[in-house]
Amino acid sequence: MQQRRHDIDALRVIAFALLILYHSAMAYVAGWDFHIKSSYTAEWLQWPMIALNRWRMPLLFMISGVAIGLTGIEGRRLRFATTRSWRLLLPLVFAMLVVVPPQTYFQIVQQYDYTGSFSHFYRLYIGHGLCRGGQCMLTPTWNHLWYLAYLWPYTMLLLAIMPVLKRLRTRLDQPTHSAIAGWLLVVAPAAWMIFVQLWLMPRYPETHALLGDWTVHAESLPLFLLGYMLATSRWFWAWVERQRWATLALAVLAISLELGLRWLGRHPPAGPIPQWAMHVPWPAIEHIGRASYTWLALLTIFGWGRVWLDRPFRWLPYCTEAVFPWYMLHQTIIIALAFWLIPLHLGPVIEPALVIGGTIAGCLLGNEIIRRVPLLRPLFGLKRQPNLRRLRDAAPSTAPLHHPSSHLAPVDTTLASVPEADPSSSR
């Protein structure tokens, strides 16, 4: 059994914490669609949102693969498939029927001037679908929980081809030329992501509908599988830690290229454009910068995570368990709070502050209730609560009772990663 990787757990927690900020900001960023929008929107929010968006979901999918790779489940794949299906599909179905509907209700009230009651809406949501002006919204929907719908088939595929991946992982663990392999690891995934951006994305825009969402699958599934293969690779983790300054510099350069070209596209030079510049494929260069930044950011995050986060923080066991309930609850709370606060016109500072603060408080309260109610735990992706009395009775009287989230426990792989979308690449 692998010793618990605190940096992987901590990165997962941090990614979900950023998720609350990201989805809260979606109500206030100008020019991007969201389920509900405030009157206090700002265009400048697009720039930090883009910088975060490029690696947010790729990080979560790769962490999920890493987490599975650290569990050593190769000899019990069928059992793992059963428990993983239970812990992913049950919360997804429950959320689509209970947690997500208020989001859709508040959305159609604000955007479509719907005046019916929630009970009337819910009957439409479950049975008839929601249509307006010839356009219909497919319901029930998973909204921000699309990640769960993708993670399950990815995991089943991983389990099916695990013998092949295990042989590849053995070769990756100790490459003959680690320096060459390291820089190949920089170039090859970035080249694949560039292909996805230049060829697939224009033909298959992101939908988060699972079927036919080829751009998201082409980006997320390889990262998920790659995370599994690199999970136990000592040279990889040593390499990303050693090269963290170089990958950071390259990542900054790549995102600067993308954002700089975006800015110039909106604010072209006042003078005449040079003739040579008119023949440069600037959109393709922007996509190259975007794809390169995504992969370089992941390498940078993993490298600095090894330096700063691979230690048993006291808050980590609690936060690791809380990730799944917070993930399920946060967007519904955000939309509900924004819906109630927007008509009050509290201003561009107080309103978003109350949305963010209220969401944190709501998730904290909800998690405290969920973790204490045995019936709710599986509905929100939590394991059955251990019977501490039974553990004390079974343990020798002189032996200390270890916390179930001990640092030697394997990484929890259920939601080893989270989140949703924006139009400019609003995943």
CA dist 376 to 76, 92, 146, 371, 426, Å? 27, 13, 21, 7, 31
Alpha carbons 417 and 11: distance in angstroms, whole number: 8
Give the tokens for residue 218: 């082409």
Q: Tell whether the model's pLDDT for residue 48 goes beyond 60.
A: yes
Q: Is pLDDT larger for residue 11 or for residue 427? A: 11
Q: Tell whether the model's pLDDT for residue 130 goes beyond 60.
A: yes
How confident is the model over 274-313, as pLDDT tens digits? 777 777 898 999 999 999 999 999 999 999 999 999 999 9
pLDDT band of residue 267 (cuts 50, 70, 90) is: confident
φ/ψ (deg, to 5) at 130: -115, 120
Q: Considering the chain, what is the average pLDDT of its residues?
A: 88
Alpha carbons 76 and 73: distance in angstroms, whole number: 5
What DSSP string runs through 136-159? EE-SS--GGGHHHHHHHHHHHHHH
pLDDT of residue 403: 39
Alpha helices (runs of H) in 175-281, residue ranges in sequence order: 178-195, 201-203, 214-230, 234-242, 244-266
Give the tokens for residue 14: 């941090």
pLDDT band of residue 176 (cuts 50, 70, 90) is: low
How confident is the model over 340-359, as pLDDT tens digits? 999 999 999 999 999 999 99
pLDDT of residue 417: 38
pLDDT of residue 387: 58
Fill in the amino acid letter for 12: R
Q: Is pLDDT larger for residue 194 or for residue 395? A: 194
Q: Is pLDDT larger for residue 330 or for residue 2? A: 330
CA dist 327 to 18, 338, 410, Å? 11, 18, 21
How confident is the model over 397-420, as pLDDT tens digits? 443 333 333 333 445 556 653 333
Planar angle of CA 178, 182, 186, nearest 5 degrees:
170
Q: Is pLDDT larger for residue 168 or for residue 217? A: 217
- Whole-prediction pTM: 0.89
Distance of CA 257 to the CA centre of its chain: 24
pLDDT of residue 25: 97
Give the tokens for residue 148: 């769960």
pLDDT of residue 390: 52
Read off the pLDDT of each residue in 35-54 and give the average, rounded to a whole number.
96
Which of 50-64, 102-116, 123-137, 366-380 has the lowest average pLDDT?
A: 123-137
